[in-house]
Amino acid sequence: MPLPWRLIRCMLLLFILSLQGCIGVPIVVCTWPFKDAIRTAWNALQLGFSAVDAVVEGCSACEALQCDGSVGYGGSPDEDGETTLDAMIMDGTTMDVGAVGAIRNVKDAIRAARLVLQYTDHTLLVGDQATVFALSLGLGGPSNLTTDQSLAKWLKWKESDCQPNFWRNVMPSSNTSCGPYSSIESFSASNDDFDRRKDLCSKRVGFGNHDTISMAAIDKEGRIAAGTSTNGASYKIPGRVGDGPIVGAGAYADQEVGACGATGDGDVMMRFLPCYQVVENMRLGMSPVEAAENAISRIKRKYPAFIGAIVALNMKGEHGGACHGWTFQYSVQTTGMEDVNIFTVYPAISS
Ligand code: SD4
């Protein structure tokens, strides 16, 4: 081949490669600096696995590592001291979803969610029946999800009269503020205990240490997926399911537009389907940052004290985040990055 042609070919190749770099796919993003989770997902993408596989592998790594104690076994004990898990996986090419809520005695929550996606027409299975389902298809278990750390955390909470907790408008029936509780209406106003006991309930749980993994990925073939895994909220009332396994709340992905992952006070956030909102905002032309800021502002208008954050990703590989009530960090790895990059997002000044 004559030299000029070789040169032109080389330049063309370089141009294509640089274009891939700036378009930024394949790509994987997730809430918080969960570097090992991103690396695991990125390796899966590099090996040619699908976006769904990469998200499952990434979240699964976080579960095994018990990322920040709020993903996987041994974290966020509920009122009975038990750890239960929420997880979801969404395939943005088909809009198929598999999710598990408050699954018990199974460590591999995201893999259980994937089984729902792969082998059923359902979207969400919960509690003991989700466990039976997952075990029937070969997932490991039953496993004890309690660890020495989660037990110690729960005992300390019991010793602190079960404070804080998620109850409101109730009265404890004993002299501690632990349950069982009765509705406040069932107490007569003349009850001597009323005022004293009223103060014993429901000091609000802070979400300062909340760190769900919500992850989104675009694979080499341009397919998008999103997923979540979390042990939810410490001292939750048994049976509570958070936003993690709720489609459009904890995560969302649509091949036509992009994807989103959320973290924070799931009880509030799921009322707004913030990730669905983000994707629809991007469909209307907003950038990922604008879309995320808009979704957060809708929640903050109604719940000024809520704590939460969002990471958004469009099909071009552009990403952005927004948060309220805390400083947020999210992780990214894409073509041209040697390792995971961490991005920091601050709450809007008006927060
Ligand atoms: C939940 N949203 O169950 C989850 C917890 C979380 O960052 O996001 N932590 O409410």
Give the per-residue pLDDT at 202: 54
Backbone angles phi, psi at 10, to 5 degrees: -60, -45
| Sequential DSSP letters for 162-196 | T-S-S--SEEESSSSS-S-EEEGGGS-TT-TTHHH
Asked if residue 293 has pLDDT above 60, the reply is yes
Distance CA 73, CA 226 (A): 21
Among residues 131, 212, 228, 335, the one annotated as catalytic is: 212
Among candidates 288, 295, 290, which has minimal Cα distance to 264? Answer: 295
Burial letters 30-55, b for 16+ CB under 10 A, else e: bbbbbbbbbbbbbbbbeeebbbbbbb
The pLDDT tens digits of the residues spanning 101-146 come to 999 999 999 999 999 999 999 999 999 999 999 999 999 999 999 9
263 in contact with ligand 1, CB cutoff 6 A: yes
pLDDT at residue 4 in the model:
59
Residue 12 has pLDDT above 70, yes or no: no
Q: Is 264 in the pocket of ligand 1 (CB under 6 A)?
A: yes
Question: What separation in Å is there between the alpha carbon of 227 and the centre of ligand 1?
Answer: 13
Q: Is 212 a catalytic residue?
A: yes
Q: Please tell me the distance between residue 231's alpha carbon and the centre of ligand 1 in angstroms.
A: 8
Q: Please list, in sequence order, all residues whose beta carbon lies within 8 angstroms of the beta carbon of residue 158, skipping any fewer than 6 positions away.
A: 178
From the number of C-beta atoms within 10 Å of its C-beta (0-12, 13-18, 19+), residue 262 rates as: buried
From the CB of 210, is ligand 1 less than 6 Å away? yes
pTM here?
A: 0.91
Indicate if the alpha-carbon torsion angle 242, 245, 246, 249 is positive or negative: positive
Establish whether residue 233 lines the binding site of ligand 1, counting it when its CB lies within 6 angstroms of any ligand atom.
yes
Average pLDDT over all residues of the chain: 90
Digit-coded pLDDT (tens) for 231-279: 999 999 999 999 999 999 999 999 999 999 999 999 999 999 999 999 9
Confidence (pLDDT) at 6: 58
- pLDDT at residue 116 in the model: 98
Per the model's pLDDT, the better-predicted residue between 238 and 189 turns out to be 238
Binning pLDDT at 50, 70 and 90, where does residue 205 land? low
Give the pairing type, strands 85-91 and 224-230: antiparallel
Q: What are phi and psi of 157, to 5 degrees?
A: -65, -40
Under a CB-based contact definition with an 8 Å cutoff, are residues 207 and 233 in contact? yes
Ligand 1 centroid distance, CA of 214 (Å):
10
Gap between the Cα atoms of 81 and 155, Å rounded: 8
**pLDDT value of residue 211:** 72
Distance 89 CA to ligand 1 centre (A): 16
275 Cβ closer than 6 Å to some ligand 1 atom: no
β-pair type (213-218, 27-31): antiparallel
Mutate which of 30, 243, 307, 326 for ligand 1 pocket (most atoms within 8 A of beta carbon): 243
Give the bridge partners for 344, in sequence order.
329
